[in-house]
Amino acid sequence: MSEAEELQKLADKEYEFGFVTDVEADSIPPGLDEDTIREIVKRKGEPDWLLEFRLKAFRHWQTMEDPAWAKVKKNTVNYQDLIYYSAPKPKKQLDSLDEVDPELLETFEKLGISLEEQKRLSNVAVDAVFDSVSVATTFSDKLAELGIIFGSFSDAVKEHPDLIKKYLGSVVPYTDNFYSALNAAVFSDGSFCYIPKGVACPMELSTYFRINAAGTGQFERTLIVADEKSTVSYLEGCTAPMRDENQLHAAVVELVALEDATIKYSTVQNWYPGDADGVGGIYNFVTKRGLCKGDRSKISWTQVETGSAITWKYPSCILQGDDSIGEFYSVALTNNHQQADTGTKMVHLGKRTRSTIISKGISAGQGQNTYRGLVDVKKNAEDARNFSQCDSMLLGDRCGAHTFPYVEVRNPSAKVEHEATTSKIGEDQIFYCNQRGISTEDAISMIVNGFCKEVFSELPMEFAVEAQKLLAVSLEGSVG
Amino acid sequence: MSENEKEGSMILEVNDLHASVEDTPILRGLNLNVKPGEVHAIMGPNGSGKSTFANVIAGHEDYAVDSGSVLYNGIDLLDLSPEERACEGIFLAFQYPVSIPGISNAYFLRSALNAVRRYREESEVDAVDFLQLVRSKMALVGMDEKLLQRSVNDGFSGGEKKRNEILQMAVLDPKLAILDETDSGLDIDALRIVAEGVNALRGGDRSFIVVTHYQRLLDYIVPDHVHVLSQGQIVRSGDKTLAHELEREGYSWLDSGDKPKKSEADQKVQEAS
Ligand SMILES: Nc1ncnc2c1ncn2[C@@H]1O[C@H](COP(=O)(O)OP(=O)(O)O)[C@@H](O)[C@H]1O
Ligand SMILES: [Mg+2]
């Protein structure tokens, strides 16, 4: 096969997860006002304090404007056209997985997420979120024996209201930004996780988000609290059907690590990216932030972002406790017309706080990839350290890579280092591989994986393999 | 000998090959026949088309073949993709080896070896067997084992890059190896080591085309045939003494169009049949 044919074949390969599940949905009509919020609260049977929280957020949101500062081009989102609540029917209290709609189980099966515990190879507990609601959580009983709470946000509101009241909005207040305000007003479900004092969570916790219904925004809310001396590793994955409209996903994730606690949060984001001409795809506008509240606490973000038409997200760490550590490892890939504006904020408040930022941006096709990061060393952060490395790789000459590393240092003892490189996968590199017997496709995937190695090594083993494959699929058809 | 038998005994038959780069004709009617086990040297001034020839044989897409034919073991080489040619046993030691940051030399070489083995329907080698194989070959080219864990050619010295090419050749076990200016940038010791590595791989049916500007390398890798390439054509062919002659006379006679005084070594330039 000639190289041209090879490329054509690759280019024709479509998004694997673009199917639609035929389930009857229980939705509320499109549009957003206070009644919409009351309706969500009613359907979910939420307490008054949460209604108040939502309404305050909504009123604040109405005073805000859709931000335009990121380096992306987007269509205007008409918030009155969106559906804010869509749940697969029937939604009744599920006592076991046997009661989950087989269509839904099959959907997650197709996505490679088996919800049947005995079938799972890996030691991973999964919370599966379908459109607005959590449909199943595996292993919750086993986790409960250790005092670990893991399940849907909605259940946690009912069963652990004190924890939710204490921490909801404590890291990302609804006033934070336009999307966090919107999310606080209309969020429908997500995962909640609490690891008690001294407990090292024995398995990976994972939430799998799936957008299915048309015209629906997904506004999930995730809250993870790691109590003193506890550790947890959490992974989130996402997909959506292929549609030619832009669907909005505006999540908020809050992490709280108390003294000596460690949270590792990994994301493999594969929302539908739109077609090769840039039609459709998910708008992924997410606020993720972790608070290293206690001394010697640690929060580590690892993300592999290959999907979405537009990604805006800056998983950040507030390093409040002395000797606390924040890490950000990111691979963002944009192909065709995808745009990503992503990075992190490391806010150093405590003494001897340390942060590491490793960002790998890969641009192919006409993709635009921006790293935007802030290292903010406050006045009292004696002996703070940061190391940042931002590498960009370009495939072809119609794509772009941009780097905006902002640094603010208010304490002279701080040491902040920044390194940046830009490289291109050259045709000469590919030919070199070809001449040694390696196909173009394998050569690209090898070079890109080599480029991302430092980030992949941070992912839990089984997801590292998945991430590599995902990257290869996302890059198909990108050379030529 | 019948025409068929003669064809069957060639590993490479290049007939009236015309090739161009960006619409500029570079090769203009090149003819060359290589038999299994032979070592051919192609010499010629800078810009005469030596690397172009090497790249055309390897299948680089920037080099367009305008006319002529290339048979490799009797099959039409020009029909094959670069990786198929590699898997069929053609190896090009590049004049300027490319670096690939982020991929270790060991990983790269094992990927290449396994790609070739898959093509040949042989089982893949695991990391342990590979390490054993590569170690024995590294000794052959006097290469430091530390280079295995470094990224492919990244930050390698000129000499290290050239040795790495020969190491890859030794591991991939080609049938026809083309060495493009493997001597350039090497000091005399490195040159000797590289040449010894190549000589160790000589023998049997393996053929070599050694491309060089200077005669020096040919003191170590003694060729069976020497060809002079000028303006995209082989203008003279002879045995190893032709190389010495070129060393004395230089290439300036090519511009004037006069050949240097005919020597004993001179053989008939092979005509395309
Ligand atoms: N990739 C290329 N793009 C443009 N011109 C090239 C390229 N490769 C070779 N050439 C041209 O082709 C001619 C022959 O080059 P080359 O084959 O490299 O010669 P040699 O190896 O004998 O020095 C030169 O004029 C050179 O400028
Ligand atoms: Mg050359």
- Cβ of B22 below 6 Å from ligand 1: yes
- Confidence (pTM): 0.78
B116–A contact, CB cutoff 8 A:
yes
Which of B51, B231, B234 to mutate to test ligand 1, by most ligand atoms within 8 A of the CB atom?
Answer: B51
More confident residue, B155 or A364: B155
Q: Which residues contact A262 (CB under 8 A, 6 or more apart)?
A: A226, A230, A231, A232, A297, A298, A299, A300
Rounded Cα distance, A400 and A382, in Å: 38
- Cβ of B96 below 6 Å from ligand 1: no
Residue B5 has pLDDT above 60, yes or no: no
pLDDT, residue A349, reads 97
Of the ligands numbered here, which is closest to the C-alpha atom of B48? 1
pLDDT, residue A369, reads 86
pLDDT, residue A244, reads 58
What CA–CA distances, in Å, run from A99 to A90, A103, A188, A445, B169?
10, 11, 21, 41, 61
pLDDT category of residue A3 using cuts at 50, 70 and 90? very low
| B271: exposed, middle or buried (Cβ count in 10 Å: 0-12, 13-18, 19+) | exposed
Q: Tokens 């003669």 belong to which residue?
A: B6
Contact between residue A80 and residue A30 where contact means Cβ atoms under 8 Å apart? yes
Contact between residue A359 and residue A422 where contact means Cβ atoms under 8 Å apart? no
pLDDT, residue A469, reads 74
Tokens of A127: 């919370």
Q: Residue B77: which region, alpha, beta or left (left: phi > 0; alpha: psi -120 to 50)?
A: alpha
CB-CB under 8 Å, A446 with B94: no
What own/partner pairs with CB < 8 Å and gap ≥ 24 does B235-242 have? B235/B269, B236/B266, B236/B269, B237/B267, B237/B268, B237/B269, B237/B270, B238/B263, B238/B265, B238/B266, B238/B267, B239/B265, B239/B267, B240/B41, B240/B265, B241/B265, B242/B266
Cβ-based contacts of A3 with chain B (< 8 Å): 61, 81
pLDDT, tens digit, for every residue of A305-345?
888 778 888 999 999 999 999 999 999 888 888 888 889 99
Rounded Cα distance, B163 and B197, in Å: 9
Rounded Cα distance, A469 and B69, in Å: 40
* Neighbour-count burial for A8-18, b at 16+ CB within 10 Å, e otherwise: eebbeeebebe
Q: Which of B60, B109, B115 sits opposite A431 (nearest CB)?
A: B60
B68-94: average pLDDT: 96
Of A33-42, A93-102, A279-288, A291-300, the range with the highest mean pLDDT is A291-300
B31-51: average pLDDT: 94
pLDDT, residue A15, reads 57
B108–A contact, CB cutoff 8 A:
yes
Q: How many CA atoms lie within 13 A of A40 on its CB side?
A: 28
Using CB atoms and an 8 Å cut-off, which of residues 253-312 of chain A contact chain B? none
Tokens of B24: 């500029």
Rounded Cα distance, A10 and A441, in Å: 9
The neighbour count for residue B144, using CB atoms within 10 Å, is 10
Contact between residue B182 and residue B158 where contact means Cβ atoms under 8 Å apart? no
Rounded Cα distance, A166 and B68, in Å: 80
Closest CA of chain B from A443, distance in Å? 9
A143-151: average pLDDT: 89
* Neighbour-count burial for A263-286, b at 16+ CB within 10 Å, e otherwise: bbbbbbbbbbbbbeebebbbbbbb
pLDDT, residue A109, reads 63
Residue A478 has pLDDT above 70, yes or no: no
B121–A contact, CB cutoff 8 A:
no
* Neighbour-count burial for B162-193, b at 16+ CB within 10 Å, e otherwise: bbbbbbbbbbbbbbbbbbbbbbeebeeebbeb
Distance from the alpha carbon of residue B203 to the mean position of ligand 2, in angstroms: 26
> What is the residue extent of each domain of chain B?
3-48+61-231+266-272
Using CB atoms and an 8 Å cut-off, which of residues 441-470 of chain A contact chain B? 442, 446-447, 450-451, 453
pLDDT, tens digit, for every residue of A37-94?
998 898 888 999 999 999 999 999 989 888 776 666 777 778 888 777 776 665 444 5
Q: Which among A43, A86, A77, A36 has a CA at the least distance from the CA of A57?
A: A36
User: Which of 3.40.50.300, 3.40.640.10, 3.40.50.2000, 3.90.1150.10 is the CATH number of B3-48+61-231+266-272?
Assistant: 3.40.50.300
Q: Which of A2, A442, A453 sits opposite B102 (nearest CB)?
A: A453
Contact between residue B40 and residue B225 where contact means Cβ atoms under 8 Å apart? yes
Residue A385 has pLDDT above 50, yes or no: yes
B164–A contact, CB cutoff 8 A:
no
Residue A24 has pLDDT above 80, yes or no: no
Q: How far is CA B194 from the centre of its chain?
A: 14
Helix, strand, coil content of chain B in percent (nearest 5): 40, 25, 35
- Cβ of B49 below 6 Å from ligand 1: yes
Q: How far is CA A214 from the centre of its chain?
A: 21
pLDDT, residue A2, reads 46
pLDDT, residue A387, reads 96
Cβ-based contacts of A1 with chain B (< 8 Å): 81
Interface probe with A: pick from B81, B92, B114, B150, most Cβ of A within 10 Å: B81
More confident residue, B213 or A89: B213
pLDDT, residue A480, reads 45
pLDDT, tens digit, for every residue of A153-180?
888 999 999 999 999 999 999 999 898 9
What CA–CA distances, in Å, run from A138 to A94, A142, A171, A239, A320?
12, 9, 27, 19, 34
Return mean pLDDT, chain B.
Answer: 87
Rounded Cα distance, A188 and A190, in Å: 7
pLDDT, residue A265, reads 94
Contact between residue A357 and residue A390 where contact means Cβ atoms under 8 Å apart? yes
Contact between residue A432 and residue A279 where contact means Cβ atoms under 8 Å apart? no
Give the ligand 1 atom nearest the CA of B180: 21
The neighbour count for residue B256, using CB atoms within 10 Å, is 7
| Residue type, position A320, single letter | Q
Tell me the percentage of chain B whose pLDDT exceeds 70. Answer: 90
pLDDT, residue A65, reads 85
DSSP β-bridge partners for residue A401: A369
pLDDT, residue A92, reads 47
pLDDT category of residue B255 using cuts at 50, 70 and 90? low
